[in-house]
């Protein structure tokens, strides 16, 4: 499987540091539904159709004002309200970057054309136009993408179906007999990042903090990892055990990750240009991606497997998210569903006493080097994981472990 970096076709690298070394295409409405159901199961209240018009904050909390006059009070507020974020605007946080230069139409619809006809036309058109394609979603439905004629003044207004068909005919020479559209939308290649992710008790995450072209399919992954990084730190703050600076580490860690995603999507958009210079660079990069290390580096980048937070010098695992390895007591990620830290102890003599209300202690004495499927670097005495799965300590010294527990999980209980 390949073609994920700027549509460049290459093999999927072997041995990626993940238990799920593949790309699974799931329609976004399905993902939205699953996340909403899980949030509801955990006790979250989801209110739809409630528009924020104002907010204020003081030393104790934040007051949010809705369009119907309702006021909501909370200790913190997180703006996850998209690229046109009202929260970001009300905070006065700058959103520097570049406006859209090109625009693309996207939609789900049925096609009358035979699959072999579609495949032949796609193969021909995509030799030069990488922003065109159609992928089957089952039940005769395809997700279709095609370059727009220009950049609309208001991209919040979806294209008409006739506009979509006209662009297909202009780019591919046929509209494939498209019919029965489920939804239509347009997106540009604007690239912007919020100057700050936190103003007092109000924070920004997801598209409210950054927007970029969807090349490489990185947007949802980037936003959810923002939320995961912020969520456990915000919970620690609310529960009163967060060490000093923990909440500020959200911006320090995630701002840099988003900046890197913005850069690689900028690069991908340049590589997808039909200009001769860009096509020459594209051919050169295609040759370079035949080298395993180059291929692996780019795939790890767009899948976020390569994300490593700077926790200082040390073991190669330090700062990375631990993969979902098999343990005697079950799979690692299954043991972390409670949203707590975890000490994976292969020595059987370490302790998290004083932090047991925040950190689980799992003793697994099986030598992971005996499992051929696991990389050698996982053969370590013990690792301490944050709730988001990132490794903050590797070793076997109890005092060193206590220092890291205090650094990430606050003061011990009596």
Q: Is residue 93 part of a domain?
A: yes
**Do 375 and 399 sit in the same domain of this protein?**
yes
Q: Is residue 32 part of a domain?
A: no
Q: Is residue 29 part of a domain?
A: no
Q: Is residue 63 part of a domain?
A: yes
Per the structure, the count of domains in the chain is: 3
**Do 390 and 376 sit in the same domain of this protein?**
yes
CATH number, residue 234:
3.50.50.60
Q: Is residue 330 part of a domain?
A: yes
**Do 91 and 112 sit in the same domain of this protein?**
no
**Do 198 and 338 sit in the same domain of this protein?**
no
Parent domain of 391:
326-409
Q: Is residue 321 part of a domain?
A: no
pTM value is 0.89
Q: What is the pLDDT of residue 373?
A: 44
Render each residue's pLDDT in the chain as its tens digit; 414 residues.
346 788 886 778 887 888 888 877 777 788 889 999 999 999 999 999 999 999 999 999 999 999 999 999 999 999 999 999 999 999 999 999 999 999 999 999 999 999 999 999 999 998 888 889 998 888 889 999 999 988 888 877 889 999 999 999 999 999 999 999 999 999 889 999 999 999 999 999 999 999 999 888 899 899 999 999 999 999 999 999 999 999 999 999 999 999 999 999 999 999 988 899 999 999 999 999 999 899 999 999 999 999 999 999 899 999 999 999 888 888 999 999 999 999 999 999 999 999 999 999 999 854 444 444 444 456 889 999 999 999 999 999 999 999 999 999 999 997
**Do 91 and 210 sit in the same domain of this protein?**
yes
**Do 118 and 156 sit in the same domain of this protein?**
yes
**Do 92 and 111 sit in the same domain of this protein?**
no
**Do 128 and 168 sit in the same domain of this protein?**
yes
Q: Is residue 293 part of a domain?
A: no
Q: Which long-range contacts (CB under 8 A, 24 or more apart) does 400-405 make?
A: 401/343, 401/350, 401/352, 405/352, 405/354, 405/355, 405/359
**Do 230 and 117 sit in the same domain of this protein?**
no
The domain boundary, picked from 247, 272, 297, lies at 272
Q: What is the pLDDT of residue 29?
A: 80
Q: Is residue 290 part of a domain?
A: no
**Do 91 and 233 sit in the same domain of this protein?**
yes
**Do 91 and 199 sit in the same domain of this protein?**
yes
């Amino acid at each position: 499987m390949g073609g994920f970096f700027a549509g460049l076709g290459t093999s999927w690298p072997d041995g990626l540091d993940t238990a799920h070394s593949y790309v699974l295409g799931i329609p976004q409405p399905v993902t939205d539904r699953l996340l909403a159901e899980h949030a509801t199961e955990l006790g979250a209240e989801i209110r739809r159709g409630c528009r924020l018009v104002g907010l204020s904050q003081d030393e104790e909390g934040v007051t949010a004002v809705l369009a119907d006059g309702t006021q909501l009070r909370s200790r913190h507020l997180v703006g996850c309200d998209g690229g046109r974020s009202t929260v970001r605007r009300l905070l006065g946080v700058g959103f520097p970057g570049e406006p859209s230069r090109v625009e693309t139409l996207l939609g789900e619809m049925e096609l009358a054309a035979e699959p072999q006809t579609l495949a032949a036309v796609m193969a021909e058109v995509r030799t030069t136009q990488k922003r065109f394609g159609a992928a089957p979603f089952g039940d005769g439905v395809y997700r279709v993408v095609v370059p727009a004629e220009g950049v609309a003044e208001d991209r919040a207004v979806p294209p008409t179906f006739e506009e979509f068909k006209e662009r297909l005919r202009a780019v591919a020479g046929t509209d494939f007999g498209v019919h029965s559209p489920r939804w239509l939308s347009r997106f540009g290649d604007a690239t912007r990042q919020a100057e700050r992710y936190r103003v007092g008790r109000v924070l920004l995450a997801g598209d409210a903090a950054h927007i970029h072209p969807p090349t490489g399919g990185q947007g949802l992954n980037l936003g959810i990892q923002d939320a995961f990084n912020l969520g456990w730190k915000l919970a620690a703050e609310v529960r009163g055990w967060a060490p000093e600076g923990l909440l500020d580490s959200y911006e320090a860690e995630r701002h840099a990750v988003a900046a890197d995603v913005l850069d690689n999507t900028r690069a991908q958009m340049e590589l997808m240009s039909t200009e001769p210079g860009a096509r020459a660079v594209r051919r050169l990069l295609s040759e370079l991606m035949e080298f395993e290390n180059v291929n692996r580096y780019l795939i790890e980048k767009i899948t976020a497997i390569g994300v490593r937070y700077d926790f200082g010098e040390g073991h190669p695992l330090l700062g990375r998210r631990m993969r979902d390895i098999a343990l005697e007591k079950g799979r690692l990620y299954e043991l972390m569903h409670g949203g707590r830290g975890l000490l994976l102890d292969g020595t059987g003599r370490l302790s998290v006493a004083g932090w047991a209300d925040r950190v689980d202690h799992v003793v697994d004495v099986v030598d992971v080097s005996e499992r051929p499927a696991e990389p050698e670097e996982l053969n370590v005495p013990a690792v301490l994981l944050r709730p988001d799965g990132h490794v903050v300590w590797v070793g076997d010294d109890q005092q060193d472990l206590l220092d890291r527990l205090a650094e990430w999980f606050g003061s011990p209980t009596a």
